[in-house]
Structure 1
Amino acid sequence: MRLLADLIRGLDVEKALNILKFSTKHTSVPMEKLLLSAIDNWKQKNQGEDVATANLYVKIIFVDGGRMLKRMLPAPQGRAYRVRKRSNHITIIVDSRAK
């Protein structure tokens, strides 16, 4: 997730959406949905102002660690390995550039 966040940080929204849409990384789909949600939230906050004329860009994006599911995996000789299934929290702030 952090690799994709670094790719789209500071870019225009249209360019960031294109990068996420055509990326081969597994996490690009949820991040694209999150960016679309951030754009819709910006529209609601700004009374439906047009995105194209507002010149939106990804102002801030960061990825923090989320909860971790701890599971056990059988191992030889009666032992077990711990498997940590990690998740994360993503924060995206979208803003318009000054004209």
Structure 2
Amino acid sequence: MSARKRISAEKRKEARKEVSFAVLKNVPSSPRKMRYVADMIRGMEVFKALGVLKFSNKEASAKVEKLLLSAISNWEQKNDRKAETGELFIKTISVDEGTTLKRLRTAPQGRGHRIRKRSNHVTIVVDRINKEEQEQN
């Protein structure tokens, strides 16, 4: 590894230490369905987002709810205290495409149609709402 790459890798590593996040990989649902749930809670306060996810009818919402609880727990672990209501919000939530399993379904007249079983990766980053105000004081 060259010096330039090592320096930039160390900078990325240091930046990740200050951020609390959680990653869920290889979720067996299409990224399109997961993005619908992610768009519902993007930018919300975390406890409000948990309420929205709890009463959503989407199957993906249960997985995102569990991931959000993990992100909150990670934040609490890094800061050595419990999160209070109105303190944390979802800074970013991203849904990326994972691996696609390619399968065949039988079709009429001896043919076969391709079935694509998609998966996705979800990343949630949580942060404090008034972080800028705390740094100035």
CA contact under 8 A between 2:98 and 2:120: conserved in structure 1?
yes
Structure 2: gaps of 5 or more residues: 1-33
Map 1:80-91 → 2, pairs under 5 A: 80-91=112-123
Greater per-residue strand proportion: 1
Runs of 4 or more, structure 1, over 3 Å off, are none
Normalised TM-score (structure 1): 0.94
- Opposite residue 36 of structure 2, the aligned amino acid is L
2:87 corresponds to: 55
Q: C-alpha separation between the residues in 2 aligned to 1:54 and 1:3? A: 24
What number of residue pairs does the alignment pair up?
98
- Opposite residue 5 of structure 1, the aligned amino acid is A
SS at match of 2:58: coil
SS at match of 1:95: strand
2:51 corresponds to: 18
1:53, CA displacement in angstroms? 5.8
1:5, CA displacement in angstroms? 0.8
Find out whether 1:5 has 2:5 as its counterpart: no
Q: C-alpha separation between the residues in 2 aligned to 1:7 and 1:15? A: 11
Find out whether 1:44 has 2:77 as its counterpart: yes
Structure 1 vs Structure 2 CA RMSD: 1.2
1:54, CA displacement in angstroms? 6.9
- Opposite residue 28 of structure 1, the aligned amino acid is S
The structure whose Rg is larger is 2
Q: C-alpha separation between the residues in 2 aligned to 1:45 and 1:52? A: 15
Find out whether 1:79 has 2:111 as its counterpart: yes
